[in-house]
Structure 1
Amino acid sequence: MARGGRAGRGGQGLVRVAVVVRAGAAPLWWLGVCAAGVGVLPPGITGRRIGVLAGAALFLVAAAVTALTRRGRYAALVRGAGRAGKHDVLQDRAVTVRAWRRGHRWWLLLAFAAALGSAFAVPAAVGMLCAGAGAGLWLKAGWIGRLERAGDALLWVRADWLDHRGGGPAGKPVKGYRGTGVAAGDAAPGGARRRTAALV
């Protein structure tokens, strides 16, 4: 299978499920950490101590909810995954991450602005909420990686199904996943960068 570019001869452009999930983890984490660090400076209406305690609770809740949401849907798609075709095109990890972040940049900036603005009421809380969502995405990607290792197959989804509004890797437009061997593509199980990229 080729990597990157357009699909041809009846093939489809495929992106790694775990990479799509993982793409938002780092920006949410770092935006949240930065917002929480700046947001703890003003005393706010509630005071710093209450704000930080509320933020810690929100961090845990956000991480748990993000990590656990739609697990049943993911598991069902994994069970029904078909084999990728020889003319399918596997999108590079960097291309997938860049596309996700470009498509969500305004939501990320809005979350950062909201976290900073809310610090004048509840210091650091919303920043820690964003960081918790990022941590939850890392946990979810790790869970998907364990599914991939258990099934000895990497999971892919059609790129055009992710272009729809709200079309995440387990959204309604997604009809099924496709699988390849664990050496395919340039991302390891779970979506992390491979130490040595394998060409297929």
Structure 2
Amino acid sequence: MARAGQGGGRGLARVAVVVRAGAAPLWWLGLLAAGIGALVPGLTGRRIGVLAGAALFVIAVPVVATVQRGRYAALAGSATRAGRHDVLQDRAVSLRNWRRGHRWWLLLAFLAAVGASFAVPAAAGLLMAGCGLGLWLKSAWIGRREEAGGALLWVRVDWLARNGGRPAGPAVRAYSSTGIAAGDAAPGGARRKAASLA
């Protein structure tokens, strides 16, 4: 991999952490919306609503997990080494920034899922949960690529902001890479386990 230019430092966020950021909110809000929706008879009835939701869940998981994989792979393949002055964003900061930037969208999606239950009970909530699981699977896929390549993938914070928090959006021109031990998140974006004392 090539080395990035030696100019001023840039803020870098972990790609896998940003992908993973939406997984938990979508999963839990989706399950909550589905649970509330299951209490409503709806126009179709609970049984049809839950069956429709299960079908949407099964469809959403692989679609979300695989969408734009080619784009991620291309950016990963051309990643350049992070410069010594680049600032690696903490995992907690990346999660907080993404969730703050999307909190109103998450709230609207939850309210829409609950509202949709008056027509098709639980279906939209299960769709949300499926999207959350798909994001988690995508972050795990990125983690396997990181482990196989022996390098963690990072995206510039300013490019991330211009793409609405999407780490593979059109404004992202390249990824940066570091050694596998850099930062406070493990491959795939999970919290790095503390080293055990010998």
TM-score clears 0.5: yes
Identify the residue that residue 142 of structure 1 maps to in structure 2.
Answer: 140
Identify the residue that residue 54 of structure 1 maps to in structure 2.
Answer: 52
Match of 1:129 among 127, 130, 142: 127
Identify the residue that residue 97 of structure 2 maps to in structure 1.
Answer: 99
- C-alpha separation between the residues in 2 aligned to 1:191 and 1:167? 15
SS in 2 for 1:163: helix
Match of 2:185 among 181, 184, 187: 187
Q: Is the Cα contact below 8 Å between 1:167 and 1:174 reproduced in 2?
A: no
Identify the residue that residue 74 of structure 1 maps to in structure 2.
Answer: 72
What are the within-5 Å matches in structure 2 for residues 80-91 of structure 1?
Answer: 80-91=78-89
- C-alpha separation between the residues in 1 aligned to 2:59 and 2:160? 27
- C-alpha separation between the residues in 2 aligned to 1:12 and 1:116? 41
The alpha-carbon deviation at position 64 of structure 1 amounts to 1.1
| Deviant stretches of 4+, over 3 Å | none
- C-alpha separation between the residues in 2 aligned to 1:137 and 1:60? 14
The alpha-carbon deviation at position 148 of structure 1 amounts to 0.1
Unaligned runs of 5+ in 1: 1-8
Q: Under a length normalisation based on structure 2, what TM-score does the superposition of the two structures give?
A: 0.93
Unaligned runs of 5+ in 2: 1-6
The alpha-carbon deviation at position 13 of structure 1 amounts to 0.5
- C-alpha separation between the residues in 1 aligned to 2:155 and 2:72? 11
Please tell me the root mean square deviation across aligned C-alpha atoms, in Å: 1.0
- C-alpha separation between the residues in 2 aligned to 1:164 and 1:178? 17
Q: Percent identity?
A: 72
The alpha-carbon deviation at position 166 of structure 1 amounts to 3.7
The alpha-carbon deviation at position 195 of structure 1 amounts to 1.2
- C-alpha separation between the residues in 1 aligned to 2:80 and 2:194? 26
**Equivalent residue letter for 2:146:** E
Deviations 1:79-106 (A, max 9, x none): 0001011000000000000000000000
- C-alpha separation between the residues in 2 aligned to 1:162 and 1:27? 19
- C-alpha separation between the residues in 2 aligned to 1:193 and 1:19? 9
